[in-house]
Amino acid sequence: TNYCFNHASNGTWLDWLAERNVLAVSGVDTRALTRHLRDKGALRAVVSTEALDAKTLVKAARSLPAMAGADLVKAVTRADVHALSAEPAEAPHVVVYDFGVKRSILRQLEMQGFRLTLVPARMSARDVLRLKPDGVVLSNGPGDPAAVGYAVKNVSRLLGRVPLFGICLGHQLLALALGLRTYKLKFGHRGCNHPVKDLMTGVVGITTQNHGFAVRSDGQLPRGVEFTHLNLNDDTVEGLRCEEQLAFSVQYHPEASPGPRDSGHLFTRFREAILRSSGDGRKS
């Protein structure tokens, strides 16, 4: 890494990295590391440019909190209520629970013509309903869904009151509110090439995913709940719905930015659910 042989070269690769303040790793058997992770699953790890003693680094890694049981939402949610868009007052009003929401999700909702209000993760269902939403989005976010009990309680109190659309963590929170269970995956789903089958239509789409927990598929489904999407790599649950409770969700990121756009129609489906709910008087 510190040699240059091209006659036109005016520096080494290390010089180039240093000039641009780019970190590089060398002397690591990455194939051995890959095989280890393949067998052991996702593990806690540490990278240091200061402490280089192996025992010190192992101790530091083991002292890190485990992902299971970790409420990471509290570190990324917003602190206040924020009216985001300037759509006309007659536009459908959607409240977005901010569990760590991506801007690209908000853009997709804005493209549907919604008037958006962002609320903190701990905002009560009662206070959300006081905002008179036509629908509620349960956003993506980090951590263990089972550790975010306050959100599960609020989602359960919104069931059947307004249409609900859950994405990623929001999907898991909806599942818990409906009586399902979640668990930590041995290997998280990361990247933009996960094939998912829509069980309602038989259509397979390529999805973007970034999560380490999933909804359990074993056991009897609660009344009115059905699984709608399946991951073709490992048969994990990728979507569910409960029409009786005006709710549906997907584990992956339908906004997919960056990534494939096979699932953008789900935002249109949410709008249609809102219009149906408003039309038949089911909204409270």
pLDDT digits (tens, 9 = 90+) for 4-21: 777 788 888 888 899 999
State whether 24 and 128 are in the same domain.
no
Cβ atoms of 26 and 1 closer than 8 Å: yes
State whether 78 and 53 are in the same domain.
no
Q: What is the pLDDT of residue 282?
A: 52
Q: What is the pLDDT of residue 1?
A: 59
Residue 3 lies in a domain: no
Sign of the CA dihedral running 84, 259, 29, 40: positive
- Residue range 90-99: average pLDDT? 97
- Residue range 107-116: average pLDDT? 95
Residue 253 lies in a domain: yes
Q: Indicate which CATH number applies to the domain containing 201.
A: 3.40.50.880
State whether 56 and 98 are in the same domain.
no
Residue 204 lies in a domain: yes
Q: In the block, which residue shows the tokens 């930015």?
A: 257
- Residue range 52-72: average pLDDT? 91
Residue 185 lies in a domain: yes
For residue 72, pLDDT over 90 is answered with yes
Whole-angstrom CA distances from 270 to 140, 188, 216 are 16, 27, 24
Percent of the chain with pLDDT over 70: 96
- Residue range 95-109: average pLDDT? 97
State whether 48 and 78 are in the same domain.
no
- Residue range 243-248: average pLDDT? 96
Q: What is the pLDDT of residue 11?
A: 83
Q: What is the pLDDT of residue 258?
A: 59
Ramachandran category for residue 235: left, alpha or beta (phi over 0 → left; psi -120 to 50 → alpha): left
Q: What is the pLDDT of residue 284?
A: 44
Q: What is the pLDDT of residue 15?
A: 87
Q: What is the pLDDT of residue 7?
A: 79
For residue 268, pLDDT over 70 is answered with yes
For residue 261, pLDDT over 90 is answered with no
85 sits in which H/E element: none
Cite the active site residues: 168, 253, 255
State whether 24 and 118 are in the same domain.
no
State whether 141 and 251 are in the same domain.
yes
Residue 262 lies in a domain: yes
Residue 284 lies in a domain: no
Q: Outline where 78-139 has alpha helix (H).
A: 103-111, 125-130
For residue 281, pLDDT over 60 is answered with no
- Residue range 201-217: average pLDDT? 95
State whether 34 and 155 are in the same domain.
no
Residue 8 lies in a domain: no
Which residue among 23, 38, 62 closes a domain? 62
Q: In the block, which residue shows the tokens 């906004």?
A: 255
State whether 133 and 56 are in the same domain.
no
Residue-number span of the structural domain to which 150 is assigned: 73-279
Percent of the chain with pLDDT over 90: 77
172 or 90: which leads in pLDDT: 172
Instruction: Kindly report the average pLDDT of the chain as a whole number.
Output: 92
What are φ and ψ of residue 158, in 5° steps?
Answer: -95, -15
State whether 214 and 96 are in the same domain.
yes
Distance CA 38, CA 149 (A): 31
Q: Number of folded domains in the chain?
A: 2
State whether 204 and 225 are in the same domain.
yes
State whether 107 and 239 are in the same domain.
yes
257 or 240: which leads in pLDDT: 240
For residue 134, pLDDT over 50 is answered with yes
- Residue range 160-167: average pLDDT? 98
State whether 55 and 185 are in the same domain.
no
Q: Which tokens hold the place of 259?
A: 């990534």
Residue 7 lies in a domain: no
